[in-house]
Amino acid sequence: MLIPNLLALILLLLKVIKGSLLAFSPSLPELNSGITTTILGYSDNSPLLKTQHPPYLQKVDQGLTLTLGVYLAIQVQRGLLPLPLIIFALFIGLLLLLACIDWFYLILPNSLNFLLIILGLSTSITLFGHGLIDVLVRCSCCYGTLWWVQALYQALRHRPGLGLGDVKYLTALASWFTIEQLCTLILLASLTALTFYLCKHRDLNSLNSITIPYGSFLSVSAMYCAYLFFPDLLDIY
C-alpha cells in the first residue's frame, strides 16, 4: 500500500502547488522595487499565471483534491503512511512553491517562510533531536550574519546583492539544517546559479546587470541536501 499512498501524496502536493501558484497575486509594493514590473511586464495585482477553466473542470479538480485529502488522512490514521515521509513531502512541497514564486515574481513571501521555519523547528526538535535553544540561536546567527553581509555589500556597491527575502529564506532553512549543512547548501546553490547564468549569457560581466532568482536555486539545492542529510525521513521500510 505504500506505493499507491506515496503516489497519492505526490499528486495532492502537485495540485496544491498548482492551485497556490494560480491564486498567488502579490500587490505591487511587495515586488522588489519594481524589478518584476520591468522584467515580466507585471502591471497589476492579478496572478501572473492566471488561467481560465470551465466551471465543471474546476468542480472536478476540487472534488479530486478533496478525495485525495480524505484518502490520505485515512491512510495516516491506519498507520499506512509514515509521519516522516509526510513531513519530507511537505518540506519539498514548500521548497517547490517558493522556487516557482521566486522564479516568476522575484519575491519570497513572508507567510511561506514563516510556515517553513515553524515546520523546521518542530521537525528539528521532535525528529532530529535538536534543542529548541540551539535551533533558535542557529537561526538568529544566520539572519544576523546574512543581514550584515547584504547591508555591507549594498553600502559598498550601492546596489542590493542579496535580497532580504533570501535572508529570511535562508534563516528558515537554518531551522532544518545545521550550520555546516547550510554552508554546503549555499555553496551548491551559488555554483548552480552561476553555472546556469554563465551558460545562458556566456559573459561574466553581463551578470552585473541582471536579477537572479536566488531563492529558486536555494530551493533546488535544499532538495538535494535534504536527500543527502535527512536519510531518516526517507527510511520508510
How many residues would you count in the chain?
A: 237
* Res 198: pLDDT: 81
> Helices 110-126 and 83-105 meet at what angle, rounded to 10?
160
**Number of domains forming the structure of the chain:** 1
Range of the domain at 14: 2-234
Question: Which cell is 92 given?
Answer: 519539498
Q: Provide the sign of the torsion angle of the four alpha carbons 111, 175, 10, 188, taken in this order.
A: positive
Q: How far is CA 13 from the centre of its chain?
A: 13
* Res 14: pLDDT: 83
Place of cell 533558535: 136
Cβ(16)–Cβ(69) under 8 Å?
no
* Res 233: pLDDT: 67
* Res 38: pLDDT: 36
Identity of the amino acid at 18: K
* Res 116: pLDDT: 93
Cα–Cα nearest to 72, from 41, 146, 185, 64: 64
Q: Which secondary-structure segment (H or E) carries 149?
A: helix 132-157
Cβ(158)–Cβ(102) under 8 Å?
no
* pTM higher than 0.85: no
* Distance from C-alpha of 196 to C-alpha of 118, rounded to nearest angstrom: 31
pLDDT in tens, the chain (237 residues): 677 877 888 888 888 887 777 777 665 445 544 344 333 444 444 445 555 556 666 677 778 888 888 888 888 888 777 888 888 888 999 999 999 999 888 888 898 999 999 999 999 998 888 889 999 999 999 999 999 988 888 888 777 778 888 999 999 999 999 999 999 999 999 999 888 888 877 666 666 667 788 999 999 999 999 988 887 666 654
Query: What is the DSSP secondary structure assignment for residue 32, as one 8-state letter?
Result: S
Q: Which secondary-structure segment (H or E) carries 178?
A: none
Identity of the amino acid at 32: N
